[in-house]
Structure 1
Amino acid sequence: MMKKIILLNVIIFCILSCHNRSVDSLDNQKYTEAKNNFNRKLVDHFPKAVTSYPFQTINSKNISKSDVCFMLYEYEKDLKTIDSVVRSLEKKSLAKYSSNDSCLLIVNRFETLKTYENRENVIISDSTKINQDCFKNLYPIPSFIEYEFANGKNGIYLENNFDIYVLEAKNGNWFKEFKMMPNPQMPKNWKNGYSKGIAVSRERKTLIYWSVIW
């Protein structure tokens, strides 16, 4: 089993005096190297460089758990930057969802903090949640289980003040290096696929870039 890789040396939560301090070249080099481990098609919407602390990257290649992703969490971003990102997203996104929506098509929705942290097998506790009528016109989004303030109340581990923009999503196996078995947690038409986008919260001053493959 390929173990999940978290770049601990890039996970940075500074004390208050570090907030918005420019990111040093070594940390940006590590960020760039991690991003370049993925197909350019998957990460072309990520920033070329990380500009301020605190931030966190998630780099997972756990094919056996349908958990392949690259994610960048940027905290304490200035509102001018956030508004600029939102303006761009409004023009080019396929879909926009709210973390407060009652129906969301979530990749690996049965993963819990316990199974995720301990790399345990996932139990599908309610199979009726796999195929729901409301999923018909939805694109898959990730579970943001690594979010700093994560809780499991809404299934995606985000607070209710996030807008979630999907930039691209396709079903099927598109990447030879990450060819996976059909994901039992996903509906029939999305047993395999990929999704990428950005989640935004002005209230939390947070940007989350994602690319996920399952």
Structure 2
Amino acid sequence: MNKIILLSVLLFFSGCINFIRPVKIISTKQQKSFEKNYQIHGLFDFIPEFAKKNTFGTTAFPPPDSINCHYVNQNSYAIIIGNKSDYLEDLKKVFDNGIVYTTDYLNDSNFIVDIIELKRTLFPVAKCNTYHKGKYPIPYFENYNFGLGIKETLKKQIVGEPPPRRHTVYNIPKDLKVYVIEARAGNFWKFDCKENRPETLGKWKHGYSKGVAVSDKYDKVVFWVIVW
């Protein structure tokens, strides 16, 4: 099995969702661990400290303490979902510092990266992992729980595995607007696991992207980072 890392916070092979109490989502130790293995530093700096430490209902996938091509995929993501009204000053700072790209999430021509499916085709999504010229990569937000219910639960039986694999697709705000703060194509890992990537990614077979997404109707904000 090869490797992975990136937006909310808790590792792919031990992912968890906490809806009961606030938890420390991104720790200094986790950031330092990630930066030991990646050439671009400061990717998490725009995320408010309050969101890192006191967030409810967050899907989190933090970088591991060490990376090894044999047991972890070379991708990462952090996705923090909170109430927009709690982060108005933080959002103002983000916008004042500059946005490189803005889009409505439900736009059919978005370049959406489903980071979970980069190395497999268990539950492929037609609109994902295909580069569109002039577009910046953004996360597949249906992977994350906005508290708006489940759209569907997918199941697939794998030969040799008694229980079927399951994947939950969540409802997302219809008015979700996405703002990319920074994104670059290229392999910036300090090691190379020579992982295969879909040809449909074009120049974005490796890269990173970070930003925020906002829903005024549902008072939601997402602080996200994806690295692959």
Task: Identify the TM-score tier after normalising by the shorter chain.
Answer: 0.5 to 0.7
Q: TM-score, normalised by structure 1?
A: 0.67
Partner of 1:100: 106
| Structure that is richer in helix per residue | 1
**1:89 paired to 2:94:** yes
Q: TM-score, normalised by structure 2?
A: 0.63
Query: 1:55 touches 1:72 (CA, 8 Å); kept in 2?
Result: no
Q: Which moved more, 1:54-63 or 1:37-46?
A: 54-63
For structure 1, the residue ranges without an aligned partner over 5 or more in a row are: none
Q: 1:78 to 1:190 in 2, by over 3 A?
A: closer
Q: Among all aligned residue pairs of Structure 1 and Structure 2, give the percentage whose two residues are the same amino acid.
A: 19
Q: 1:146 to 1:60 in 2, by over 3 A?
A: farther
Aligned with residue 71 of structure 1, among 66, 75, 78: 78
Query: 2:212 touches 2:224 (CA, 8 Å); kept in 1?
Result: yes
Query: 2:74 touches 2:193 (CA, 8 Å); kept in 1?
Result: no
> Partner letter of residue 94 of structure 1?
V
CA distance in structure 1 between the aligned counterparts of 2:42 and 2:209, rounded to whole angstroms: 11
Q: Which moved more, 1:95-104 or 1:155-164?
A: 155-164
Q: Which moved more, 1:161-170 or 1:197-206?
A: 197-206
| Structure that is richer in strand per residue | 2
CA distance in structure 2 between the aligned counterparts of 1:211 and 1:178, rounded to whole angstroms: 21
Query: 1:163 touches 1:200 (CA, 8 Å); kept in 2?
Result: yes
Give how far 1:41 is off: 2.6
Q: 1:70 to 1:199 in 2, by over 3 A?
A: same
> Partner letter of residue 31 of structure 1?
I
**1:137 paired to 2:134:** yes
Give how far 1:185 is off: 5.9
Q: 1:211 to 1:126 in 2, by over 3 A?
A: closer
Alignment of structure 1 residues 30-179 onto 2, 5 Å: 31-32=26-27, 33-39=29-35, 40-50=41-51, 52-56=54-58, 57-59=60-62, 68-75=75-82, 77=83, 79=85, 81-91=86-96, 92-108=98-114, 111=117, 121-122=121-122, 130=130, 135-144=132-141, 145-148=143-146, 149=148, 151=151, 158-177=172-191
For structure 2, the residue ranges without an aligned partner over 5 or more in a row are: 5-11, 36-40, 153-168
> Partner letter of residue 70 of structure 1?
Y
3-state DSSP of counterpart to 1:38 = helix
Give how far 1:97 is off: 1.3
CA distance in structure 2 between the aligned counterparts of 1:74 and 1:125, rounded to whole angstroms: 22
Q: 1:192 to 1:42 in 2, by over 3 A?
A: same
- Measured on the aligned residues, the alpha-carbon RMSD in Å equals 3.9
Query: 1:60 touches 1:67 (CA, 8 Å); kept in 2?
Result: no
> Partner letter of residue 5 of structure 1?
F
CA distance in structure 1 between the aligned counterparts of 2:87 and 2:19, rounded to whole angstroms: 19
The superposition leaves residues 74-111 of structure 1 with CA deviations (integer Å, 9 ceiling, x where unpaired) of 33x262x3432332333311111111212110113894
Give how far 1:43 is off: 1.4
